[in-house]
Every structure is written in structure tokens, then in C-alpha cells.
């Protein structure tokens, strides 16, 4: 908790050290996302019940573009006021090759990130990274986590309902990361295993979950609803319990394929004491507020996510008062963090 209380008063830097590089004039089309609705046509029976299953074809390669747009405004007040305004766009181009599909519909899928691009701005400074384009060694080191992901495939096992059963062969990605950072021969087994867990849990899994959303076991039809509770997690001094909610909006056609449009949201239950004291410092936390909504087009005919967009928002606020003899220091931090996640079959 002590380390946490030190860090939360610091300004979170999403994109690293300061830079004054000018933003490029244009982007290549492969990184340009599209969030417009898919132009579909009516089906003969739009109210019938259907079953949702992932059904990737063995031997086939699927190409996806994953885009995350983060907007963060943080205001820190002590004797002075510091405002950090950050906007970041991070795009992954990834290839999914279906290596095998067993009799139960469990798919062995090889993921390969072919391109990654970061485009960010913080308080007037620009930050640019693009795999294969960024060559400066200091920049490569700064963005080592992205550089290590390029053309270093890993494999997953995923069932037909989108449950991730296993991730393996991430060692090539991890070895590349350690090589860039100069730690390849200096870490022990326990440290390497910890880094591997952080890589899989903090980077790889969130990207996989954008393409493979968990599907309901039961059949669904127009206006059907369902939900998936997530494990409770500790967030600052609180315990946060999120439940993802889903509702079928429509059944329609794209050419000869049937698409199910699914809307999603999130319910959040937050518990815990909003006060914390350590040594001579006391903290008063306001209960965080959350917001989430999105839409996903699921291709029933071919068994994959065609397109999707999800938006989340998190508001955080706390005050601090510290006593040092007769001196009293007061401060506060207010944060608004918005994320937009876009997934597109290319």
C-alpha cells in the first residue's frame, strides 16, 4: 500500500519520456479505422433463435485491426496546479492462423502481430512509434514492449464459446524484449517467469479478448439479454466487481452472411472504506464512477467477430493531507480516463 500511495499522487505517463517530435502529416490506410455501422439487409425471419459459436476454419488466416484510443485528463492540486492532458491511439495489425480444430470445436490459433503503431500527444508534445519505421536505438528501447511483439508468434487454445483455455509459445516475444532491454542473461528463472505472467496477463490477453468475446451457452433471439460477472479486483482502497451485460439488437444479412448485432454495457459494484491513513498522511477517496457501452457484429455464418466498438470511462478523485510538525500540506488529484476499443476484420 505504501508504494501505491506514493505512485497515485504522481502524474501517470502513458507514453514515456518527453518529446517534441512533429506529428507526421499522413497515416497509411492500413492503420485507418472505421467505426461506421455495417450496411446490412433484412433476413426472412429476424426474430428466430440462433446459437453463437466461434468456428474459424482450419488452415485459414484471418486478419484483424485492433485500435485503442485513450484520452486522459489528470489534475493535481497542491501549492500549484498541474494538468496533464493525454490522447493516444495504439493500433495492432494481427494475423490469426487456425492451426487445428478438434472434435469439440476447440481451436488452436497462432497469433502474429505484423504491425504496431503508436500516435500520441501529451500537453503539446508528440510521440510516434511504428514498427519497421522507427529505427533509432533509443526509440526502439523506449518502445521495446511493442518492438518485441512484431513477427514473434504465440499460440492459443480457445473454445467455441470464446473461452481462452491456454496461451503458449510466448518465449520468443519475451526473449526479444529482454534482448532489447539488455537483460537477456542477467535475470533468474523466477524473474523471467514473473515477466512472462505480466506479458500474458497485461498485454496479450486483453488483445485476445477484443477478438474473442465470451458467448452465451444458450440460444438467443432479438431482445435476448445475458451477463457475465467478472472476478472482483482491488482498485486503490476499494474492491470493484464488474458485470458485463449484453442484449441482441438485430439479426440481418451482409451479402450471404448473417450478422447478429449485440449491444453491451457494464454494471459495477464498488465497496470498501474510502479513508486511509499512513504515518502522518491521511487520504480521502471518492468512490470511483464507471461507464461502459458498445456494439459488436457477430458473423453467425462464419463464426467470428466481424466488427466491434467498446467505450469505457473511469472517474477518480481523492484528497490528501499530510502533517510535518506544524506544517500541513494538502492536495488532491482528479482523473478522467476514457478508452475506445475498436476491432475490425480486414
Query: In the prediction, which pLDDT does 28 show?
Result: 59
Question: Which of the residues in the chain have pLDDT under 70?
Answer: 1-28
Question: How does pLDDT run across 195-252, given as a tens digit for each residue?
Answer: 999 999 999 999 999 999 999 999 999 999 999 999 999 888 999 999 999 999 999 9
Q: pTM of the prediction?
A: 0.88
Query: In the prediction, which pLDDT does 11 show?
Result: 38
Query: In the prediction, which pLDDT does 16 show?
Result: 43
- Residue 20 has a CB neighbour count (10 Å cut-off) of 8
What are the distances in angstroms from CA 292 to CA 166, 295, 310, 338, 341?
Answer: 28, 11, 7, 10, 11
Q: What CA dihedral angle connects 159, 165, 169 and 172, to 10 degrees?
A: 100
User: Quick one: what percent of the chain has pLDDT higher than 70?
Assistant: 92
Task: Please say whether the beta carbons of 220 and 49 come within 8 A.
Answer: yes
Q: How many domains does the chain have?
A: 1
Supply the range of the domain harboring residue 7.
Answer: 2-345
Task: Please say whether the beta carbons of 132 and 101 come within 8 A.
Answer: no
Reference 234, options 200, 272, 192; nearest CA is 272
Question: How does pLDDT run across 104-144, given as a tens digit for each residue?
Answer: 999 999 999 999 999 999 988 999 999 999 888 888 899 99
Amino acid at each position: 500500500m505504501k508504494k501505491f500511495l506514493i505512485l497515485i499522487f504522481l502524474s501517470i505517463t502513458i507514453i514515456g519520456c518527453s518529446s517534441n517530435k512533429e506529428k507526421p502529416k499522413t497515416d497509411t490506410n492500413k492503420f485507418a479505422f472505421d467505426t461506421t455501422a455495417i450496411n446490412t439487409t433484412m433476413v426472412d425471419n429476424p426474430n428466430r433463435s440462433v446459437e453463437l459459436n466461434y468456428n474459424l476454419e482450419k488452415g485459414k488466416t484471418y486478419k484483424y485491426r485492433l485500435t485503442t484510443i485513450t484520452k486522459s485528463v489528470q489534475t493535481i492540486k497542491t501549492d500549484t496546479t498541474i494538468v496533464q492532458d493525454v490522447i493516444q491511439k495504439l493500433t495492432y495489425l494481427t494475423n490469426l492462423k487456425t492451426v487445428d480444430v478438434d472434435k469439440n470445436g476447440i481451436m488452436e490459433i497462432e497469433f502474429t502481430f505484423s504491425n504496431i503503431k503508436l500516435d500520441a500527444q501529451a500537453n503539446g508534445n508528440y510521440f510516434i512509434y511504428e514498427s519497421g519505421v522507427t529505427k533509432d536505438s533509443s526509440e526502439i528501447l523506449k518502445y521495446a514492449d511493442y518492438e518485441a511483439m512484431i513477427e514473434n508468434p504465440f499460440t492459443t487454445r480457445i473454445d467455441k464459446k470464446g473461452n481462452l483455455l491456454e496461451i503458449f509459445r510466448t518465449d520468443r516475444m519475451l526473449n526479444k524484449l529482454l534482448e532489447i532491454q539488455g537483460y537477456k542473461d542477467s535475470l533468474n528463472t523466477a524473474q523471467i517467469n514473473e515477466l512472462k505472467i505480466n506479458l500474458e496477463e497485461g498485454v496479450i490477453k486483453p488483445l485476445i479478448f477484443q477478438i474473442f468475446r465470451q458467448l452465451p451457452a444458450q440460444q438467443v433471439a432479438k431482445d435476448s439479454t445475458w451477463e457475465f460477472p467478472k472476478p472482483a479486483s482491488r482498485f486503490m482502497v476499494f474492491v470493484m466487481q464488474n458485470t458485463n451485460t449484453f442484449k441482441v439488437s438485430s439479426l440481418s444479412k451482409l451479402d450471404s452472411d448473417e450478422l447478429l448485432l449485440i449491444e453491451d454495457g457494464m454494471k459495477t459494484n464498488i465497496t470498501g472504506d474510502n479513508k486511509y491513513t499512513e504515518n502522518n498522511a491521511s487520504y480521502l477517496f471518492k468512490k470511483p464512477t464507471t461507464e461502459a457501452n458498445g456494439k459488436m457484429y457477430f458473423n453467425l455464418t462464419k463464426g467470428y467477430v466481424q466488427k466491434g466498438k467498446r467505450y469505457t470511462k473511469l472517474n477518480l478523485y481523492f484528497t490528501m493531507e499530510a502533517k510535518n510538525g506544524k506544517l500541513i500540506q494538502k492536495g488532491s488529484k482528479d482523473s478522467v480516463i476514457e478508452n475506445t476499443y475498436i476491432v475490425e476484420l480486414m
